Amino acid sequence: MNLKLELGYIKISDIQFSNESKVENGVLYVNPEDIINLVKEDENIASCAVDIARPGESIRITPVKDVIEPRVKVEGPGEIFPGVIGKVNRVGEGRTHVLKGAAVVTTGRIVGFQEGIIDMVGEGAKYTPFSQTLNLVLTMEPVDGLRPHEHEKALRFAGLKTAVFLGELGRNVEPDEIETFETLNVKEGIEKYPDLPRVAYVQMLQSQGLMHDTYVYGVDAKRTLSTIIMPTEIMDGAILSGNCVSSTDKNTTYHHLNNPVIHDLFKAHGKTLNFAGMIITNENVYLADKERSSDWASKLCQYLGVDGAIVSQEGFGNPDTDLIMNAKKIETVGVKTVIITDEYAGRDGRSQSLADADPLANAVVTGGNANMVIHLPKLDKVIGHINFVDTIAGGFDGSLHEDGTIECEVQIITGATNELGFSKLSAR
């Protein structure tokens, strides 16, 4: 039997505060007390403010921790974010409703150099996809003395719980559009499309430690070996982000849920290629782990007998080494690769882009140069803490000017050079 998931998109045209939380006629009504009560179930959170930020409004959100799309499982096994918010159970089949156009954005000061800006208007809005979503923004403060590990976890769970709460409001709403994703097993795929090149997707997950973590069905990815996962599982929240660094090229939970590599491979499936499977692998700090994980990823590609593989990276610096190891080893077993990364090529774009390289890694898609300098205007309202702009990636001493404008590198913006290609930078 095939794995089939239907995504039912409920198009959200506005978010408004109301006495009752509900979805009606495309409007997401939220009672902020519902959210505050939910978030404050966690005694580690002292306060929570709820704001709405709409596209075009003069609002800057910073520092952004995570962005999450509200979804609910309406048919089929499991619940959204299995092993974390939902019970441990297989997901990726049946039907899932999506509040399309809405997002939960979490902010909060975990450490003094917290990252990420979303501008809803102006120059900065051009670089983040989340200037186009209707955002429910949670600004949370911890109780005194909460350590960064616990603080990160508290904010992560608050965001997920809120997204699940909002998703639940769409359970009985008829979707505006339904998109179906079907995964054939290996045998059926080969029989059905004997003449099409078989392509795998290898997704690298950030997994280095505090504020650099990703969870798969609730398991810390650094404790995993490379494995096979169904792409539709990811649409139900099997992978979620605990990653708070390098905002430009980290994958938020929203990115995972909407992974464009998966969506594009499904679009091409049966036409120009046969999407033969998906492999997830980690990015650990220990070099032997890098060797082991890339060995394993290449072995799985070899075993699946694919003709090509797309490898996407997450983050800056040492993941370049994982990326190149993956590309090199997958090529060595006779599988063509294309890597997706971004670049730190200096402000003039003339420096070496990656911290590692190999002649076998000869096909690349880039998310852009994260060192590019941009100028952000003063906006009327700041949600969060603007004083961190001086100390977050891409900002620099004095980057926050007295008139409220900011001179910075584009890497300060959440999702600007995303390495899944979920971004707006293009050479076209």
Partner 1 sequence: MVYNFKIITNNELVFEKYGKEFEVDYKPGSFEELLLRVRDEVHNGAKLLTHPLTGSIKPNETPFKTVYVKKGKGATNIDYDSVVMIENAIITTRKFKIRFPVMPDNVRADFALIDLSLMESAISAVTQA
Nearer to partner 1, 128 or 162 (CB): 128
Among candidate residues 73, 32, 81, 33, the one with its CA nearest the CA of residue 52: 32
- Vertex 374 angle, CA 371 and 375, to 5°: 150
- Strands (E) across 83-165 are located at 94-100, 102-107, 118-119, 134-142
Asked if 287 is part of the footprint of partner 1 (rule: CB under 8 A), the reply reads: yes
* Closest CA relative to residue 406, chosen from 423, 392, 421, 426: 392
Residue choice 43, 174, 195, 397 for contact with partner 1 (CB under 8 A): 397
Q: Give the pair of three-digit tokens for residue 387.
A: 């004083």
Residue at 159: amino acid letter = G
Beta strands at 14-17 and 27-30: parallel, antiparallel or unpaired:
parallel
Does the footprint of partner 1 cover residue 351 (CB under 8 A)? yes
Instruction: With contacts defined by CB under 8 A, name the span among 43-51, 65-73, 172-180, 245-253 that binds partner 1.
Output: 245-253
Work out whether 284 is an interface residue with partner 1 (CB under 8 A): yes
**Whole-number Å distance between alpha carbons of 284 and 319:** 8
Among 172, 180, 352, 362, binds partner 1 (CB under 8 A): 352
Q: Which stretch binds partner 1 (CB under 8 A): 3-11, 174-182, 238-246, 257-265?
A: 238-246
Task: Give the C-alpha separation, 202 to 336, whole Å.
Answer: 12
Give strand ranges (E) for 227-268: 227-229, 239-243
The amino acid present at 14, given as its one-letter code, is: D
Cβ-based neighbours of 223, under 8 Å, separated by 6 or more: none
What's the rounded Cα separation, in Å, for the pair 32 and 17?
7
Q: How far is the CB of 240 from partner 1 (least distance, A)?
A: 17
Q: Which of residues 88-117 bind partner 1 (CB under 8 A)?
A: 111-113
**Does 315 help bind partner 1 (rule: CB under 8 A)?**
yes
Active site (annotated) includes residue 244: yes
Determine which helix (DSSP H) or strand (DSSP E) holds 93, and give its type and residue range: none
Q: Which of residues 366-385 bind partner 1 (CB under 8 A)?
A: 371
Q: Is 78 near partner 1 (CB under 8 A)?
A: no
- Distance of alpha carbon 304 from alpha carbon 185, whole angstroms: 11
Which part of the chain contacts partner 1 (CB under 8 A), choosing from 88-96, 159-167, 202-210, 262-270? Answer: 202-210
- The DSSP letter of residue 117 is B
Mark 316-335 with x for binding to partner 1 (rule: CB under 8 A) and - for no binding. Answer: xxxxxx--------------
For residue 41, the minimal CB distance to partner 1 (Å) is: 27
Tell which one of 100, 156, 198, 250 touches partner 1 (CB under 8 A). Answer: 250
| Contact criterion met (CB below 8 Å) for 110 and 21 | no
**Binding of partner 1 at residue 281 (CB under 8 A)?**
no
Site mask for partner 1 (CB under 8 A), range 20-59, x = bound? ----------------------------------------
- By C-alpha distance, which of 52, 117, 107, 106 is closest to 377? 117
Under rule CB under 8 A, residue 210 binds partner 1: yes
Stretch that binds partner 1, among 93-101, 203-211, 226-234, 377-385 (CB under 8 A): 203-211
Helix crossing, 32-39 with 148-168: angle to 10°? 140
Shortest reach from residue 418's CB to partner 1, in Å: 13
User: Among residues 177, 286, 332, 380, which is the contact residue for partner 1, using CB under 8 A?
Assistant: 286
State yes or no: residue 295 binds partner 1 (CB under 8 A).
Answer: no
Closest distance to partner 1 from the beta carbon of 346 (Å): 5
Stretch that binds partner 1, among 47-55, 176-184, 186-194, 201-209 (CB under 8 A): 201-209
**319-332 and 287-304 helices cross at what angle (nearest 10)?**
30
Rounded to whole angstroms, the Cα distance separating 163 from 99 reads 10
Of these, 56, 209, 305, 334, which contacts partner 1 (CB under 8 A)? 209
101 versus 242: smaller Cβ distance to partner 1: 242
Place of tokens 């499309």: 193
Residues found near partner 1 in the complex (CB under 8 A): 111-113, 148-149, 206, 208-212, 222, 243, 245-246, 249-250, 284-290, 315-321, 344, 346, 351-352, 355-356, 371, 391, 393, 395-397
Residues belonging to the active site:
244
